[in-house]
Chains A and B, each alone.
Chain A
Amino acid sequence: MGHHVTSSDIKINGDHLDNSKLVKVKMIAAAIAAIGSLISVYLLFWGPEPEGLKPGENASGVTQGSYAYSWLFAFYFFLTLSIGGCFWTLLHNVSNSGWGTSVRRTFENLGSTYPWMFLFGIPLLCPTVQHYLYEWMNIHRGVGEEPMKEYLHHTDHLLYLKHWYMNIPFWYVRVIFWGVGLSAVIIFLRKLSTNQDTDPNPGTKRLFKARFHSTYTLIIFALTITFTGFDFMMALDYKWFSTMWGVYLFAGSALNSMAVIILVCAWLQSRGHLNKVTTPEHYHIMGKLLFAFTVFWAYIAFSQYFLIWYAGITEETSYFLIRNTGNWNIAMIVLVFGHFVVPFVVLLQAWLKRNPKTLSILAIYTLCMHVLDHYLITIPERGVSLGNIDPKYGEICVSMPGAFWGDILAFVTIGAAFLFFLLRALGQYSLYPNRDPRILESANLSN
């Protein structure tokens, strides 16, 4: 038990990660990310295209079109982890929490990867890539001389009605705002927190300031997670809509960023950091949050399925029709049991949540399920959309054979970059806010 921690246990200049030991890992991660990015840029803009398909044949292998989906999948997967870091920082501040002060810096460090991870979305701003992903943009771009709204009114009434939201200039404005807005929030909050580490007279002013500014910026967070989900993912099929979509992505995001936070804290402690200030009590609380969001995810995921299944409206059912066709159905059933039933039963145990090792294993498991979840969100759309969007991709198919190599490449590339930026953030400042007025309250936590 880490009870009775006093100010003499808190290092006056903070607890710093030894950067020299991490140079090698960071170099390797950066190298993988750089090489992967170069290959990705080649594939996205000058990649191979299917040629000479006979009628009834489908495209296969990694192509320009298939790789656009791979990139979107990997980009959005890691973006959810970063957004979740922003969420936990904001929530900790706004709920006036004392328990997590000793792990708050990890929330902030995870959140601080957001601006960098968003940069990996730049290819999605290019019309060449958008051509394969967003059918509605192709329709808008193909209008020509005629006034847009009049054209849509005559050809596609749905796009006509959605024109106020789904138009290309507004899309760019929104996407840039999602990138800049939340980045500004997390950079500001992290700076506020890290400035305290060297302040000889820290006081409580930053505590109240962070709490005040976290209130309205929480709205920016909510808009970002909801509408990046709309603009990048839901727009893959402009006919489809789900009112649960934003909440669904948020549930996965909060759950899995907590898994990352648990892993980072356990890793830091195994290297002798966060001593005295992070105890089994903290892991217990983080484990409880992991458990709570496992249930929340299941609740939201089922609600979305249930609403669509119950209503049986053509526009809505397409999502589950695609994902319950062929082998995708097996993956969806695995998701139900693997993402909910198994972690639900396992995480009920209290001792398991108090032990950093067992909790880390569960956090890794949860992250694997998150990969499956996001794979099923993005990739089943590929075979259906590509045949629809571009005639040279042949017929509509359930899945494109061989295209998964691209998924792995994109995932490893952006994953290595995520690791690099996370390690870089961890090495920049003290690993816990050593001069926060609540650090002792947090260190002596009991729940």
Chain B
Amino acid sequence: MSTTRKRVYGYLAEFKSASALFKAAEKVRDAGVKKWDCYSPYPIHGLDGAMGMKRSILPWFVFFGGITGTITAFTLAYTTQVVIYPTIVQAKPSNIFTVPAFFPVMFELTILFSGFTVLFGLLALIQLPRLNHPLFASRQFHRATDDAFFIAIEARDGSFDTQATKQFLEEIGGDNIELVEEEDQG
């Protein structure tokens, strides 16, 4: 018989509607909770504001990713077309002023590098892919992809307290409050 140790992930509370979730999110935000999240079957306009989320750093990654693409393409085209093997077409010069011919390549690599930075930067920031999530242990959580709206406050948050957090979730209108425990094979 294996021994199973359980670790508390946090509290999961259900809300009746998107607007109830929205209003509850504002209250959680104002209570100063840091480690928490909302779960809904569809995107809700303005929820990021209600949750007090800061702007992502991703655009800056993408900006520098794009610049890297531009420089790479220019270096590639310039080195091959001007330095190593000058290609003369219709008596056009093969020097720095040939740059319009490089623009399509520069444009494409800018887009490509930006695209890669978006994809991989996003995956790194949201820590995907992952095989499991502690909330999957909850029996009701699958309804987050169907008709239910949830807020989960994690135990990692500094203000977490078994009694007080539960009471807080009740106060802001949460139903079916559940203490989610993640299974930790030990």
What is the interface of chain A, defined by CB distance below 8 A to chain B? Answer: 1, 3, 302, 305-306, 309-310, 312, 348, 350, 446
Q: For the complex formed, measure the closest distance between the CB of B156 and the CB atoms of chain A, giving whole angstroms.
A: 30
Q: For the complex formed, measure the closest distance between the CB of A353 and the CB atoms of chain B, giving whole angstroms.
A: 13
Tell whether, in the assembled complex, residue B103 and residue A446 are in contact, meaning their CB atoms are under 8 Å apart. Answer: no
Tell whether, in the assembled complex, residue B101 and residue A310 are in contact, meaning their CB atoms are under 8 Å apart. Answer: yes
Interface centre among A3, A310, A350 (most CB of B within 10 A): A310
Chain A residues with CB under 8 A of B133: none
Contact of A348 among B45, B63, B90, B92 (CB under 8 A): B63
Q: Size band of the B side of the interface?
A: 10 to 19
Tell whether, in the assembled complex, residue B103 and residue A302 are in contact, meaning their CB atoms are under 8 Å apart. Answer: yes
Tell whether, in the assembled complex, residue A350 and residue B55 are in contact, meaning their CB atoms are under 8 Å apart. Answer: yes
Tell whether, in the assembled complex, residue B103 and residue A306 are in contact, meaning their CB atoms are under 8 Å apart. Answer: yes
Name 9 extra pairs, CB < 8 A, besides A309-B92, A312-B92: A1-B49, A302-B100, A302-B103, A305-B100, A306-B100, A310-B100, A446-B45, A446-B46, A446-B49
Chain B residues with CB under 8 A of A1: 49
Q: How far is the CA of A350 from the CA of B59 in the complex (A)?
A: 10
CB-based closest 10 A-B pairs: A446-B46, A446-B45, A312-B90, A306-B100, A309-B100, A302-B103, A305-B100, A306-B103, A348-B63, A350-B55
Q: B43-69: which have CB < 8 Å to A?
A: 45-46, 49, 55, 59, 63
Q: B16-60: which have CB < 8 Å to A?
A: 45-46, 49, 55, 59
Chain B residues with CB under 8 A of A310: 100-101
Using CB atoms, name the residue of chain A closest to B104.
A306
Using CB atoms, name the residue of chain B closest to A299.
B107
Given A312-B90, A312-B92, CB of A3 within 8 Å of CB of B46 = yes
Chain B residues with CB under 8 A of A309: 92, 100
Chain B interface mostly helix, strand, loop or mixed?
A: helix
Q: Mark B91-132, 1 if CB is under 8 A from A, else 0.
A: 010000000110100000000000000000000000000000
**Interchain residue pairs with CB less than 8 A apart (19):** A1-B49, A3-B46, A302-B100, A302-B103, A305-B100, A306-B100, A306-B103, A309-B92, A309-B100, A310-B100, A310-B101, A312-B90, A312-B92, A348-B59, A348-B63, A350-B55, A446-B45, A446-B46, A446-B49
Q: For the complex formed, measure the closest distance between the CB of B52 and the CB atoms of chain A, giving whole angstroms.
A: 13
What is the interface of chain B, defined by CB distance below 8 A to chain A? Answer: 45-46, 49, 55, 59, 63, 90, 92, 100-101, 103
Chain B residues with CB under 8 A of A302: 100, 103
Q: For the complex formed, measure the closest distance between the CB of B87 and the CB atoms of chain A, giving whole angstroms.
A: 13
Using CB atoms, name the residue of chain A closest to B92.
A312
Q: For the complex formed, measure the closest distance between the CB of B68 and the CB atoms of chain A, giving whole angstroms.
A: 16
Chain B residues with CB under 8 A of A312: 90, 92
Q: For the complex formed, measure the closest distance between the CB of A320 and the CB atoms of chain B, giving whole angstroms.
A: 11
Q: For the complex formed, measure the closest distance between the CB of A336 and the CB atoms of chain B, giving whole angstroms.
A: 11
Q: How far is the CA of A187 from the CA of B59 in the complex (A)?
A: 43
Q: How far is the CA of A1 from the CA of B103 in the complex (A)?
A: 42
Chain B residues with CB under 8 A of A348: 59, 63
Q: How far is the CA of A348 from the CA of B92 in the complex (A)?
A: 35
Using CB atoms, name the residue of chain B closest to A311.
B90
Chain B residues with CB under 8 A of A3: 46
Chain B residues with CB under 8 A of A446: 45-46, 49
Chain B residues with CB under 8 A of A350: 55
Q: How far is the CA of A126 from the CA of B45 in the complex (A)?
A: 57
Chain A residues with CB under 8 A of B63: 348
Q: For the complex formed, measure the closest distance between the CB of A404 and the CB atoms of chain B, giving whole angstroms.
A: 29
Q: For the complex formed, measure the closest distance between the CB of A209 and the CB atoms of chain B, giving whole angstroms.
A: 29
Q: How far is the CA of A305 from the CA of B97 in the complex (A)?
A: 13
Using CB atoms, name the residue of chain B closest to A305.
B100
Q: For the complex formed, measure the closest distance between the CB of A444 and the CB atoms of chain B, giving whole angstroms.
A: 9
Using CB atoms, name the residue of chain B closest to A3.
B46
Chain A residues with CB under 8 A of B90: 312
Q: For the complex formed, measure the closest distance between the CB of A262 and the CB atoms of chain B, giving whole angstroms.
A: 22
Chain A residues with CB under 8 A of B100: 302, 305-306, 309-310
Using CB atoms, name the residue of chain B closest to A281.
B46
Using CB atoms, name the residue of chain A closest to B48.
A446
Chain A residues with CB under 8 A of B59: 348
Q: For the complex formed, measure the closest distance between the CB of A7 and the CB atoms of chain B, giving whole angstroms.
A: 19
Q: How far is the CA of A302 from the CA of B55 in the complex (A)?
A: 33
Using CB atoms, name the residue of chain A closest to B101.
A310
Q: For the complex formed, measure the closest distance between the CB of A244 and the CB atoms of chain B, giving whole angstroms.
A: 14
Q: How far is the CA of A3 from the CA of B46 in the complex (A)?
A: 10
Using CB atoms, name the residue of chain A closest to B90.
A312
Chain A residues with CB under 8 A of B45: 446
Q: How far is the CA of A350 from the CA of B63 in the complex (A)?
A: 14
Q: How far is the CA of A312 from the CA of B100 in the complex (A)?
A: 13
Q: How far is the CA of A310 from the CA of B63 in the complex (A)?
A: 30
Using CB atoms, name the residue of chain A closest to B47.
A446
Q: How far is the CA of A31 from the CA of B103 in the complex (A)?
A: 49
